[in-house]
């Protein structure tokens, strides 16, 4: 499990300059989807099966207890570029049946930055991660047949995650950290089934800060076997901002102060790594997300909006907990090169009852390949990931929210999913 890194003398200014180059990735970039489980190219190449390995600075996210394996000061930064293509076909009997709709903005990118330090001859290690564990940018066309249910959503989420790890024994490490999170949420839907002849829409935009914690454990009872576990707490936000309402010619564009309480879920991962030889690392992880924290959200407007918009608008999600099962393998090659492959299965968590096209959730399969090189000073990893979601037919659904009273639409229909992603991560050892 130990991965000692030889360090050599580098001036303080040079260290700072190199770290800043890695840190100044464009943090405003946004991904589609919601939970962003890919935070390192090496881990992604292994199907995200990394909690029981956790041997680079991205352990801050995957399992902070892994930081005790790292020597000296290390920094690691990357960018996850993804093409997402959720697709929707209206149900039989709908006037637009036979047409397939796709979201408008299909390309996105998400950066990450991780910094770790272990003191010589000390059992303590420290780290700081800056990353986005959640994100979304979904914009459907106006003529899908569900515009009064949902048209647009964006989640901008940034996390600052300082951690501390302690090697209790040569085979057991524990860690804990703080989560300091910022979130901005935008939601939009039509007030009427069509946008013509008169413009009509309801939009909420709010932002806020929250705090939470993460903990990790890494245990290697045998030379060839290690176990890892990590838990990240819920983060509850009071998102304060405005609603913007328009329903011509009855309601001219109007802004109303508003707020909503929104809780992002607890996640927990348990995994086992088996190393039959020094060159092979095989791992299986089970990753749990308690999406039930997304039950009902109330958008509360501080003053009464124009009729027909309600003052307190319930958003019924009723999501369910779900699992992700991950398996990965890495083969060390000559001259410090390595190759990896992985697979993960992601259960859906959104029932038909209040299905929302803004999540377009369904069971998904992800396949990945990657390669990397570990040098004395620099390392890098590159991964490719392909995602596929078999068709899911939604029926009998109700709108998750109805700001007005005349929507008369549902999210019923058939949904599919395809994605392609390329991940590049670089690291430096001081």
From first to last of the 430 residues of the chain, give the pLDDT tens digit.
443 333 333 444 454 444 444 443 333 344 445 899 999 999 999 999 999 999 999 999 999 999 999 999 999 999 999 999 999 999 999 999 999 999 998 999 999 999 999 999 999 999 999 999 999 999 999 999 999 999 999 999 999 999 999 999 999 999 999 999 999 999 999 999 998 888 999 999 999 999 999 999 999 999 999 999 999 999 999 999 999 999 999 899 999 999 999 999 999 999 999 999 999 999 999 999 999 998 999 999 999 999 889 999 999 999 999 999 999 999 999 999 999 999 999 999 999 999 999 999 999 999 999 999 999 999 999 999 999 999 999 999 999 999 987 678 999 999 999 999 999 999 999 9
Using only the alpha carbons of the chain, give its radius of gyration. 23
Domain assignment of residue 387, yes or no = yes
The domain total for the chain is 1
Local structure of 45: helix, strand or coil: helix
Segment holding 81, helix H or strand E? strand 72-89
Does some domain include residue 222?
yes
pTM exceeds 0.75, yes or no: yes
| Domain-located, residue 27 | yes
Length in residues, the chain: 430
Residue 2 lies in a domain: no
Beta carbons of 166 and 68 less than 8 angstroms apart = yes
Residue at 5 is within a domain: no
Give Cα separations from 306 to 192, 202, 239 (angstroms).
15, 12, 22
Any domain includes 23: yes
Question: What CATH number does residue 402 fall under?
Answer: 2.40.160.60
3 part of a folded domain? no
d(CA 151, CA 141): 7
62: containing domain? 12-429
Considering the domain boundaries, does residue 1 fall inside one?
Answer: no
Q: What is the DSSP string of 85-134?
A: EEEEEPPTTSTTTT--EE-S--EEEEEEEEEEEE-TT-SEEEEEEEE-SB
């Amino acid at each position: 499990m130990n991965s000692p890194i030889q360090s050599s003398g580098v001036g303080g200014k040079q260290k700072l300059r190199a770290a800043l180059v890695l840190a100044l990735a464009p943090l405003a970039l946004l991904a589609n989807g919601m939970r962003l489980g890919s935070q390192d190219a090496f881990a992604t190449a292994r199907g995200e099966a990394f909690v029981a390995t956790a041997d680079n600075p991205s352990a801050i996210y995957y399992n902070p207890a892994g930081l005790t394996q790292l020597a000296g000061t290390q920094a690691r930064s990357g960018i996850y570029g993804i093409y997402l293509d959720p697709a929707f076909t209206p149900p039989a009997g709908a006037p637009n049946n036979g047409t397939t709709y796709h979201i408008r903005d299909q390309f996105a990118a998400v950066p990450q930055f991780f910094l770790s330090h272990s003191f010589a001859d000390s059992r303590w290690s420290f780290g700081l991660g800056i990353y986005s564990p959640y994100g979304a940018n979904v914009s459907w066309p106006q003529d899908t047949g569900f515009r009064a249910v949902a048209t647009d959503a964006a989640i901008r989420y940034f996390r600052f995650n300082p951690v501390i790890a302690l090697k209790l024994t040569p085979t057991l490490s524990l860690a804990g950290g703080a989560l300091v999170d910022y979130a901005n949420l935008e939601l939009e839907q039509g007030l009427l089934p069509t946008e013509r002849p008169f413009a009509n829409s309801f939009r909420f935009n709010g932002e806020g800060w929250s705090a939470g914690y993460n903990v990790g454990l890494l245990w290697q009872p045998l030379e060839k076997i290690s176990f890892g576990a990590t838990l990240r707490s819920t983060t509850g936000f009071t998102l304060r901002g405005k609603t913007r309402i328009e329903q011509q010619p009855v309601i001219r564009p109007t802004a109303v102060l508003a707020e909503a309480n929104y809780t992002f879920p607890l996640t927990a991962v348990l995994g086992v790594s088996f190393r039959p030889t020094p060159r092979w690392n095989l791992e299986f992880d089970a990753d749990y997300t308690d999406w039930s924290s997304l039950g009902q959200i109330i958008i509360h407007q501080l003053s009464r909006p124009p009729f027909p918009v309600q003052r307190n608008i319930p958003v019924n999600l009723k999501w369910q907990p779900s699992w992700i099962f991950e398996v990965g393998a890495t083969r060390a090659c000559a001259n410090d090169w390595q190759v990896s492959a992985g697979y993960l299965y992601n259960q859906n968590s959104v029932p038909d009852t209040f299905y929302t096209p803004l999540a377009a959730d369904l069971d998904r399969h992800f396949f990945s390949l990657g390669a990397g090189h570990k040098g004395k000073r620099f390392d890098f990893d590159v991964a490719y990931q392909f995602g596929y979601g078999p068709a899911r037919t939604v029926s009998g659904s109700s709108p998750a929210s109805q700001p007005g009273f005349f929507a008369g639409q549902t999210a019923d229909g058939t949904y599919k999913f395809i994605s392609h992603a390329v991940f590049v991560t670089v690291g430096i050892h001081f």
